[in-house]
Amino acid sequence: MVVIKAKSMGFCKGARDSIKGVKDLIVERKQISVFGELLHNKKVIDNLKKIGIGFVEPNPDVVVKGKLVIRAHGISNALMKKLKEKNDVIDLTCPKVYKIHALANFYEKKGYHIVYLGKANHPEAEGTLGNLKNYTLVTNLNDAKQIKKKKIAFIAMSTCQISKFNEIANYFKENKLDPIIINTICESTRAHQDSAKKLSEKSDVMVIIGGKQSSNTKELFELCKKITPSIWLENPEEIKKYECLIKNAKTVGLTAGASTPDEDIEELFTLLEVINNKRA
């Protein structure tokens, strides 16, 4: 059995910057609380709690001692303003998310109906759409086909599936007059998905590791399972439950979501090698 790692996987720049940001505050001996989960990975959150980083429910009326940190997913302008009234806020919103906010606001002011490909109740989607009045959230092509508005601008959550975005974009090009279409899926997501797709095409089994609340990990899993049998794990030890499936494979592909730490990837790779050695 050969285990092959995807060329692009694991922490994106936004995740690394967020973790570094809160750790730097701890080093400065500042008391901090994060507004919601910093990222969707239980192990990472648990490790941050161990070094003194607090987490609060994303309640608009929250008041904390010390610093209140806004995670990479971002929040709406109105919510930011309200939180700043009673808290010392540090904003760690990913710059690429802010770019999506700016594009959505710009085209709405130009009179366009914003069509947003994303996930309902996801914090990034709530932050972007919270700034808008004239929008429709879509999750698939069928949703897009229900839109009657003629003047539309189409954008996406930064972690959406590229193929889904392209499918809807092509529909709008054929059925709307001069639609504005901007692929706002971040470069890291695109690279992860492209790498996972190529690896799936030459693997008997794909193993995807990442938090079960992680939107980008879910998209990787959905992409891979259309091509080859795929396993989605939240932590490396879970691979032991799939030993029989793994042992029968000649080639196993390994990829990881953007909130998966390097150590989890390496531990999983080692466990796959252990399973392989049992065959010898």
pLDDT value of residue 30: 78
User: How many C-beta atoms lie closer than 10 Å to residue 121's C-beta?
Assistant: 8
* pLDDT given at position 168: 98
Q: Which pairing describes strands 152-156 and 230-233: parallel, antiparallel, or unpaired?
A: unpaired
Q: What are phi and psi of 43, to 5 degrees?
A: -65, -45
Listed residue (129, 130, 114) closest to 81, CA to CA: 130
C-alpha closest to that of 189 among 211, 157, 166: 157
Helix, strand, coil percentages for the chain (3-state, nearest 5): 45, 20, 35
The contacts of residue 3 (CB under 8 Å, 6+ apart) are: 252, 254, 269, 272, 273, 276
Return per-residue pLDDT of the chain as tens, 280 residues.
899 999 999 998 889 999 999 999 988 877 999 999 998 888 899 999 999 999 999 999 999 999 999 999 999 999 999 999 999 999 999 999 999 999 999 999 999 999 999 999 999 999 999 999 999 999 999 999 999 999 999 999 999 999 999 999 999 999 999 999 999 999 999 999 999 999 999 999 999 999 998 999 999 999 999 999 999 999 999 999 999 889 889 999 999 999 999 999 999 999 999 988 876 5
Predicted pLDDT at 26: 87
User: What H or E segment, with its residue span, contains residue 135?
Assistant: strand 135-138
Q: Give the strand pairing for 135-138 and 152-156.
A: unpaired
Q: Which amino acid is at 245?
A: L
Residues with active-site annotation? 124
Q: What is the pLDDT of residue 280?
A: 59
Report yes or no on whether pTM surpasses 0.85: yes
